[in-house]
Structure 1
Amino acid sequence: MQRLFTLPCLLLIVMLGIYILPASTMKAETAPARPFPQRVTYAANTIRPTNFTQSQQDQHVRSFYDYWKANYLVAAGTNSAGKQMYRVAFGTGSPVTVSEGQGYGMVIVALMAGHDPDAKVLFDGLWYFSRQFPSGIDNRLMSWKIENGQIVDGNDSAFDGDVDIAYGLLLADAQWGSSGVVNYTSEANRVIAGILASTIGPQSRLPMLGDWVNPNGSPHNQYTPRSSDFMPAHFRAFGRATGNSVWVDVINKSELTINSIQAKAGATTGLLPDFLNCSSNYNCSPANAGFLEGPNDGNYYYNAGRDPWRIGLDALLNNDADARAQVQQMVNWLVSDTQGQADNIKAGYTLDGTPIGDYFTTFFVAPFGVAAMTDPSKQAFLNDIYASVYNTRESYFEDSVNLLALLAMTGNYWDPTAGGGMAPTSTPINATPVPPTSTPPVPTPPTPVPGDGCQVDYTIGDDWSTGFTAQVTITNNGSTAMDGWTLTWEFSGNQQITQMWNASSSQSGTQVSATNAGWNATIPAGGSVSFGFHGTYSGTNKAPTEFTLNGSGC
């Protein structure tokens, strides 16, 4: 039931400090290094809305943020050190906060620094609140639900909240540095370590629902992920920030899982279910009704509705070909189904495209705007989506996702990790490229394989008689790092690679080579990197047994 407040009640709420403190009560703060608006240039062959100017789009985001802040960002008392805390309310006036919302808030506030002069104070207060209520299982993570200042409904974590909290901390370090009261880098590393230890499957390398999941339990385990927890752009940032190559494996396993659904149950639409049930070789199916939340657990519903945005960000920020293909499969179906009209997008679908709710909500529309940005042929559809959501207000969940999607659609969402993927710039969209003033340097040749050798693990993840996915992991067994790598092998049959991720491929007949991407060129001593690919074949599909790395056998 919706709670209604009379005017006296609303006045009492304000008097009790539910809404944020006036700016005049906050201390002056360090200027952000990357103030809003950033006007990021995304990957090649991506688009942005063209039905409003850049200045108009920036103002749309400012207005939406001011509304979001006034309705959902609230003061929450002080911690034991006397530090002011803030929380994201689960609705206007709600006493409930969930870790998901706290993560949304930390990302949003960090990105809006420069527009909001109090962003750093608010960000720190959001962080303090998350630390006030740690999970009872892994205290590096946040307990998932707080009501009236008390942990309720289980003292454990929810995966996505902590992942956004960690990403927010990386953004904060990029904005304000880590030499202040909060060491954002140290805290981010601590949260990321907790995520990896307690909520990433030890064998599956898939996101688990939270730290409460037994990796080998039933019915919830390391092979039963929530599709909206596939956040490859975040995972890639974690790998860059920590130097831990395991995050590449998490990305690859997530992509295998997405591809499995899109090749079978979601083949017509490209849609993913809220929850999945996978075997150990990443052969996945939609979860049954009632698996965790309700009758639509196996449908594209109020979890999976975030997928086009979460996956699409990896295509925009990192030019990831697999992410691009995955969201384009969704958008291609949607444009056909809706006749290219955003107002025709429904509130949820079965995986065959049958609508569930016959109503419009920005939650199911705005994420598709991010996905549409990956395909220049979808310009009209993107413009229609943007026009339908930029000034539409609903409630906490819808508005938070909408605002994050608007930040991406307007070019104001960026990756805080330095030197990886598509490094954000402040170049205006459609700016004329400036030619280099000097001859580009000659690329450094790959490092020879160390004397102690290497190891290659080739795993066929999913096989459907005419096609397959494969995962390849290269381990450097030597005592020195390997800078640049090319792996070659020979197929025994007529296998043909159709798409590769985390490496670039070249194939001539049965001879194949895979060369590192720009961001995973270095394999540290004792470390590993992974890449994967789609392929087709007829007859048999035997795994290769001999590999050559930088000219030496593995």
Structure 2
Amino acid sequence: MLYHNGPEHNFFITFNPPKIRLFKSIFLIMVYSVNKILAFLFTAGLLLSSVAFAAPKFPFPQQVTYKFGNTATYVDPSVIQSHFDDWKSAWYKDMGDGTARVISPNDSAEMTVSEGVAYGMLIMVYMSSTQADHQSEFDKLYAFWNKYAKSGSESGMNWHVNTQSGKADDGTATDADLDVALALIMAAKQWGNDQYLTKAKKLIDWIKSHDMESDGRVKAGSNWNPGLNSSYVFPAAFQLFYDVTNDSFWKTAISTNLDHMSKCQNATTGLMPDWCSWSDHKATNAGQVSGGSNGYYDDATRTPWRMAWGYYWYGIKEAKAINDKILSWLDQSTFGNANLIWPGYSLTGTSPYNMFVTSTYAGGLGLAMASADNPGYYLETVYDVLANTAGKKSPTSAKGEAYYPATLNILYMLTMSGNLPNFNSMDGLTKYTKTSVRMPSMPEGTLQAVNSGISISGYTEWGAYADKFGVTKMYPDSGSSGIFLNGDGTAVAAIEFRIAPEPTYEAGVELQYPFAGIAVSLDKDNGYHDLSNVTKIRLTYKSQGIIRFAILDKQTIDNGDEGGEPGVYLHPTDDYVTLDIDMTSKNFGTAYDAFVDGKFVVPSWVTNILNRDDAMKAVRGFKFEPKMQKSGYGNIYLRMFELYDADGNLVKDYLDPNAVSIPEIALSGRDFGMAGNAIRYTGLNAGARLTVFDLNGNRIATMTLSGSGEIPLESIVHAKGAYIVRLTDKSFSKTLRIHK
């Protein structure tokens, strides 16, 4: 569902795309007899009775610094714990017969896949703490695994089970088998019981015989090998299997599969397809998997995480090299921030889903930075997304992420934070003291009063603004000028902030969308001016976070799209740079253009796409605002702001005393807008809510409306200035900026 609202029309998409999983073609169905089921239950009972329970030796949180890569020491263990608690209540299901499963509702809530059981076992090992040990849950999940194992206990599990009918598709999925073998080895160390290690070794032998080719290539599963699934290449597991078996085959598996994977990567982006041909290393849909378009989708996106895991644990250089090929494209295309990682890409880096953020991709792709030589602050932005993306509290909840992204969310945070170490080799790992994510502080210099006359390139009418909902933090405070005078007499327009995450849509709940930024008006009365002769804007700036430079034009307001003005996204930079922004027609997008460098685009909810002439014929100013859906730190420091015409001349006659006024607008259907000195509304349901904010983010008036009518501005707004008015009426919402 597309939902937009709030003073700056930030947008939020709630969309949990169905995970189109492995092999949706027809497979052989294995029907278990009653005797077979009883035999498995007996096996499960033996397992539970034979494994002694002991306190975890490596209780969560471990918070150790890995020997290799970049450990995210600012991850809050309480956030991981909260996400785990929600995940366990939604997806872990005790079956009441000594087994438990992880609900994987791709086609029904009664579906269970081996992948989910394997992930659950990993999570139970690493989330076991002195307060809550999860060995019992681990054992029950493993009992379910053995109940549906392909070849009896300690073999791989048939990949798909309809737990309503008790039927299982014949054949394993190798990624799940690898995860369970690793989880068993970790369980042996976590609970000090070598029975787990014995079972792991038997499963490793089975994997070698059934899930791997003799030359070390990883198959899709016991019954098929349609091509290379890069997310099944698990270097950390292969090296661990060598450590516990001393079988050189697993060393070969590392080099062989990473060599094939490298050849499957796109030369420009470094992205790999869900499935890749073993022979020509081109994308193939032989596995009939997610997307169906031979791109980087739900399977492949786990690959950078798998590679980072291998580098964290063992410093596997070939795994790091896989991730390194992705870094340049990733940093450039997402403006250095995981808030702009989209859920799915073509191999050339375009996305059909460039409007929402999910844990599956933000973490999976973002963790390519975990093994980077210089990740900057990128991993912090990955954490911002993961920490502020909640999972469902039950399978039927409308709010929150579903099984697949919610499960990976926990595993990603455990991995990046040093809470998923190799219990088999803890020597040399040191505990760290938790650090903090970046927080804003007051910019340097002396803050100037509003209307002080201090200018940036001749512009004096600057102002900072932010919501006052209680989470967003900004310096200087909302309502100030945002102009700082340095000791050398130079001036800079500046803000630093940490913006709150956008809310998750809930039916019937009035949502408060965070906003912040700094804006400049072309005159003190916020009048509109014809800037048709402006063909270039020159900025000298430095910034962090995702900053959008947007035109405050009249046509957008006339169209009812306040907050959806044409804007350009600025690449973050630690040092001041000078940027020339093309203001000609060729640089204005005709649609939501996926953040093409330097091109003016609008949010996806805007239906009235402006051309250049409409946008520039009446402009009252410009704004710099953060656009980080899942929260984050940012800043903008601006020390030059100049307008140029087609001849390269500096435009100075923008202060036209004949400013264009906002005309009355005609309304039809369910709507509201300005009509002279009144707010006019029409077609509202009973209980519609009108809220008025000042530019400091303070709520100054609230009223309920219904039907049609007018409200004189004087009755709700008593002082001159600019205000934000928001109307919500069931599924309808609209926001205007008004001037008195």
The answer for the alignment partner of 1:165 in structure 2 is 180
1:458-516 CA distance string (max 9 Å, x none): xxxxxxxxxxxxxxxxxxxxxxxxxxxxxxxxxxxxxxxxxxxxxxxxxxxxxxxxxxx
The answer for the alignment partner of 2:126 in structure 1 is 111
The answer for the alignment partner of 2:42 in structure 1 is none
The answer for the alignment partner of 1:333 in structure 2 is 329
1:74-102 CA distance string (max 9 Å, x none): 10121xxxxx2111111499222110000
* 1:251 lines up with 2:254 in the alignment: yes
1:502-551 CA distance string (max 9 Å, x none): xxxxxxxxxxxxxxxxxxxxxxxxxxxxxxxxxxxxxxxxxxxxxxxxxx
Alignment equivalent of 2:422, drawn from 412, 415, 419: 415
Shift of 1:49: 3.5
The answer for the alignment partner of 1:370 in structure 2 is 367
1:45-99 CA distance string (max 9 Å, x none): x32336x4x6xx1111111111111111110121xxxxx2111111499222110
Work out the CA distance in 1 between the residues paired with 2:305 and 2:428.
18
Change (3 A) 1:424 1:149: farther
Structure 2-normalised TM-score?
0.48
- Once the two structures are superposed, the pairs formed by residues 102-141 of structure 1 within 5 Å of their partners are 102-114=117-129, 117-135=132-150, 140-141=155-156
1:195-234 CA distance string (max 9 Å, x none): 110010123x111011112xxxxxx45xx12111011111
Structure 1-normalised TM-score?
0.64
The answer for the alignment partner of 1:268 in structure 2 is 268
The answer for the alignment partner of 2:406 in structure 1 is 399
Q: What is the DSSP-based 3-state SS (H/G/I as helix, E as strand, rest coil) of the residue aligned with 1:371? A: helix
The answer for the alignment partner of 2:278 in structure 1 is 278
Work out the CA distance in 2 between the residues paired with 1:341 and 1:369.
9
Work out the CA distance in 1 between the residues paired with 2:150 and 2:317.
36
* 1:313 lines up with 2:332 in the alignment: no
Change (3 A) 1:256 1:297: farther
* 1:388 lines up with 2:394 in the alignment: no
* 1:86 lines up with 2:100 in the alignment: yes
The answer for the alignment partner of 1:506 in structure 2 is none
The answer for the alignment partner of 2:429 in structure 1 is 425
Shift of 1:186: 1.1
Work out the CA distance in 2 between the residues paired with 1:77 and 1:137.
21
Change (3 A) 1:249 1:350: same
1:49 alignment partner AA: A
2:101 alignment partner AA: R
Contact 1:135 1:144 in 2 (8 A): no
* 1:40 lines up with 2:91 in the alignment: no
Change (3 A) 1:300 1:379: same
Shift of 1:375: 2.2
Work out the CA distance in 1 between the residues paired with 2:218 and 2:201.
18
Contact 2:283 2:294 in 1 (8 A): yes
Alignment equivalent of 2:170, drawn from 155, 178, 181: 155
* 1:239 lines up with 2:247 in the alignment: no
Change (3 A) 1:68 1:285: same
Higher helix share: 1
Work out the CA distance in 2 between the residues paired with 1:41 and 1:155.
41
Higher strand share: 2
Work out the CA distance in 2 between the residues paired with 1:297 and 1:412.
35
Contact 2:238 2:253 in 1 (8 A): yes
Shift of 1:29: 3.8
The answer for the alignment partner of 1:500 in structure 2 is none
1:137-190 CA distance string (max 9 Å, x none): 9971111111225554622111111111111101100111225xxx10111011
The answer for the alignment partner of 1:49 in structure 2 is 72
1:398-440 CA distance string (max 9 Å, x none): 0111110000121101113338xxx462421699xxxxxxxxx
Contact 1:138 1:211 in 2 (8 A): no
Contact 1:87 1:129 in 2 (8 A): yes
The answer for the alignment partner of 1:448 in structure 2 is none
2:221 alignment partner AA: G
Change (3 A) 1:87 1:424: farther
1:273-293 CA distance string (max 9 Å, x none): 1011112xxx52211x45423
Shift of 1:331: 2.4
Taking only aligned residues, the RMSD between alpha carbons, in angstroms, comes to 2.6
* 1:207 lines up with 2:218 in the alignment: yes
Work out the CA distance in 2 between the residues paired with 1:153 and 1:120.
26
* Structure number with bigger Rg: 2
Alignment equivalent of 1:65, drawn from 60, 74, 84: 84
Work out the CA distance in 1 between the residues paired with 2:348 and 2:95.
44
Change (3 A) 1:75 1:312: same
Contact 2:345 2:351 in 1 (8 A): yes
Contact 1:237 1:416 in 2 (8 A): no
Change (3 A) 1:86 1:137: closer
1:28-57 CA distance string (max 9 Å, x none): 94111111111122134x32336x4x6xx1
Work out the CA distance in 2 between the residues paired with 1:193 and 1:28.
25
Contact 2:83 2:410 in 1 (8 A): yes
Work out the CA distance in 2 between the residues paired with 1:226 and 1:158.
11
Change (3 A) 1:225 1:151: farther
Shift of 1:259: 1.6
Shift of 1:252: 0.4
The answer for the alignment partner of 1:98 in structure 2 is 113
Shift of 1:334: 0.7
Contact 1:40 1:424 in 2 (8 A): no
- Unaligned ranges ≥5, structure 1: 3-26, 79-83, 214-219, 432-554
Work out the CA distance in 1 between the residues paired with 2:321 and 2:234.
15
Shift of 1:323: 1.3
Change (3 A) 1:411 1:418: closer
Change (3 A) 1:429 1:351: farther
Contact 2:274 2:290 in 1 (8 A): no
| Aligned pairs, number | 375
Q: What is the DSSP-based 3-state SS (H/G/I as helix, E as strand, rest coil) of the residue aligned with 2:95? A: strand
1:378 alignment partner AA: P
Change (3 A) 1:32 1:105: same
